[in-house]
Amino acid sequence: MSDIETGFLCLMTRPTEPLFYPKYNGEVYMDLPSEYLPERYQHIADAIKAHHGSVAKHHITIKPVELPDFSYAARVPRDGDFNLFNPAQRHTAGRLIADLIGQPDPETMLSVAAYARDRLNPIMFQYALAVALVHRKDTGTVPVPSFLEMFPTRFVDPALFPKLREEGFAVEQGQRVAIEVPHNATASESDPEQQLAYFREDIGVNLHHWHWHLVYPQEGPLEVVGKDRRGELFYYMHRQITARYNVERFCNRMPLTKPLKNLREPIPEAYFPKLMNSALNRTYPGRAANMVLSHVNRPEDDAVTTILELEASLGKIKEAIQSGFALAEDGTRVPLDATNGIDVLGNLVENSELSVNVPYYGNYHSLGHVLIGYIHDPDNLYLEGHGVMGEFTTAMRDPTFYRFHHHVDDVFDMHKRKLPSYNEQELSFPGVSIVDATVQITSGKAARNRLLTYWQRTQVDLGTGLDFGPHGNVVATFTHIQHAPFAYQIMVHNETAEQKKGTVRIFLAPIYDAQGEQLLLSEQRRYVVELDKFVVSLHPGENRIIQQSDQSSVTIPYERTFRRIDASNMAGSENFRFCNCGWPDHMLLPKGHPDGQPFDLFIMVSDYKDDAVGPGFNPNENCNDSHSYCGLRDQLFPDRRAMGFPFDRLPSAQDHLMNDFVGRFSNMSRTVAEVLFTNTVISRT
């Protein structure tokens, strides 16, 4: 591993510990020019080098270079809060990303970043550095540790950290034991919403949300922000999160989330996160039940908005949907058509730099998070930071996240409902039929079409984020939902005499709501969960297709979610950059129910010539395995169809139930699959 790669890793290790402090068990010392040290240390630079440099085995020398003017970054204080939902702070981060990406080579970028690291807000710096490393082609061998590694207090109860430090300091490496993270410890069982804590507070789920926004930042250079179908991915990824959450509610016999469409009504759900905001070294504020949103007037936090401002933005967005076009800043009409309309809307609602008219349509999604995130102290009267809804790493823990995004998805669905139902030509695949389709657990003698979920205990190494803490492995054990590995078997008949190519699309859809009422397809389509999508070649006659669950186009494996990144395990490091984007594999299936939860397993083979966007891609290389939610790196999204096809639009009037829909097309299959939850805990081997 080169000194440049090691240097970048040191920048991301123990992010609030001075850079000159030796890293990796004291073996690596960053030799900085004295003027690069923070002012506090410049007059003792020689003593620092003599003390710390003498014990380190390896020195990385940082050469002085011409530095950008970082004065703009002062608007985010080093020891203050940083919030990407606040427009001015997001803009500051965008400038920092541009400054890092704009350096001529990795060595210069390392030098500039080494100067900035201990001067700027650590959360903003680590975010900007991660975005720059992910998007520069010449830093492709540098892995980006997850925020769990860098800022573990945002994911794990801080009450555990004294125990973790004690274990690390008092016990030699190799003899340390894991510290147990309490399971679902943020509220008692008397709170009905606590039944869903295993989903909302799952570490992998929250890492997915953070990493998706890392790959798809709202601001920065155009080559960073302007990715293919970025706005549509924002819509679809969040739609799938909302669908998955509501399916979990059905599994727990709980009603759908109530969309947060009236910002003036009390919010009945309380939430007390019991997490530490690592920027302020304070716990995130909680929210009591039945609190009411108001304005937010915190200019020092770049957070100023009113309910009226959001209502005005929402009204203009709905007006655009009803009229079928959005108004660009120059007055031209941008059509919200069936091909690109959802992409335009996604960028407009999220308020990325790709929005066609920020001054007119405003900043609905981000300011919605701001309004909820500061509900406890809207005027900064009590000097409290934002709540968990105020940032990507923690927002999904709050029940209000799903209510707000259910409402946002309702807005997107207004556009989808205006589009005509898919016709027979768009849905059929002449000459191709699914003869049989089943799903089965791959271990032991399992019944067909019955899937199994259970609890699993997993260890994660938090040593990288313990500033001034013990070196080496410091491990915590947490409990999460898991599913037994399974596989699909699909028998497809190609009636033609020629080779065909098709796209297999697999979705899981709840059949019944929380009250046991069967869902009509027009309702069910909003809660279908994508499980997989892949391309197959179909030779004439019978084709037997086997697809394993761990090959899903939605998920990334455990190792890419939780593996610790440091200088000792750099092999295959490319897999830990863009490739960290993806839904965690252990959350692929809903929890199910102890009595068994029935689902429609929908499988469709569509005609690849109608799906292809260019040359084929290999899903097994270059981070392509989780493209359904994350797209492809430096490539077009590998499917011409709308994301969520064929369920993104309303069904035709004759398709009341899933059976009606599938029964009209030989290239579709509907199987009832049961997800059985067993309340046992199994340790990961």
For the chain, the residue count is 685
Per-residue pLDDT tens over the stretch 546-600: 999 999 999 988 877 776 655 444 444 444 444 678 999 999 999 999 999 999 9
Q: Report how far residue 38's alpha carbon sits from residue 194's, in angstroms, rounded to the nearest whole number.
A: 45
Please give the pLDDT value at position 617: 63
Please give the pLDDT value at position 572: 40
What the block records as the tokens of 534 is 């892949």
Those residues whose C-beta lies under 8 Å from the C-beta of residue 491, and which sit 6 or more positions away, are: 434, 435, 436, 437, 542, 543, 544, 545
pLDDT at 662 over 80: yes
Lowest average pLDDT, out of 19-23, 311-315, 542-546, 589-593, goes to 19-23
pLDDT at 243 over 50: yes
Amino acid at 610: D
- Catalytic option among 193, 248, 269, 350: 350
155-171 mean pLDDT: 83
User: What is the average pLDDT value for the chain, to the nearest integer?
Assistant: 91
Please give the pLDDT value at position 618: 65
C-alpha angle 304/118/163, rounded to 5°?
Answer: 90
Please give the pLDDT value at position 624: 61
pLDDT at 190 over 70: yes
**620 — pLDDT class (breaks 50, 70, 90):** low
Burial 151-171 (b: 16+ CB within 10 A, else e): bbbbbbbbebbeebbebbeee
Lowest average pLDDT, out of 8-12, 33-37, 280-284, 503-507, goes to 280-284
What the block records as the tokens of 260 is 């947060």
Residue with tokens 């699993």: 456
Collapsed DSSP state (helix, strand, coil) of residue 98 = helix
Per-residue pLDDT tens over the stretch 166-181: 887 888 777 888 888 8
Q: Report how far residue 625's alpha carbon sits from residue 635's, in angstroms, rounded to the nearest whole number.
A: 13
pLDDT at 154 over 60: yes
pLDDT at 116 over 50: yes
Q: Is 149 a catalytic residue?
A: no
Assess contact for 98 and 221: CB atoms under 8 A.
yes
**347 — pLDDT class (breaks 50, 70, 90):** very high
- In degrees and rounded to multiples of 5, residue 74 shows phi and psi of -65, -20
- Percentage of the chain lying above the pLDDT 90 cut: 69
Higher per-residue pLDDT: 575 or 379: 379
**634 — pLDDT class (breaks 50, 70, 90):** confident
Instruction: Calculate the alpha carbon distances from 489 to 387, 439, 448, 602 in Å.
Output: 46, 6, 10, 13
Amino acid at 619: P
With CA atoms as reference, report the closest residue to 593 among 254, 253, 256: 253
Please give the pLDDT value at position 461: 81
Against a cut of 0.85, is the pTM above it?
yes
**609 — pLDDT class (breaks 50, 70, 90):** very high
Lowest average pLDDT, out of 98-102, 180-184, 380-384, 509-513, goes to 180-184
Q: Report how far residue 495's alpha carbon sits from residue 492's, in angstroms, rounded to the nearest whole number.
A: 10
With CA atoms as reference, report the closest residue to 24 among 33, 40, 11: 11
Please give the pLDDT value at position 622: 54
**1 — pLDDT class (breaks 50, 70, 90):** low
pLDDT at 469 over 50: yes
With CA atoms as reference, report the closest residue to 369 among 342, 403, 343: 403
25-29: list long-range contacts, CB under 8 Å, 24+ apart.
25/471, 25/472, 26/55, 26/56, 26/471, 27/56, 27/57, 27/58, 28/56, 28/57, 28/58, 28/60, 28/567, 29/53, 29/56, 29/58, 29/59, 29/60
Lowest average pLDDT, out of 148-162, 289-303, 347-361, goes to 148-162
Question: What's CA 264's distance to the chain center, in Å?
Answer: 29
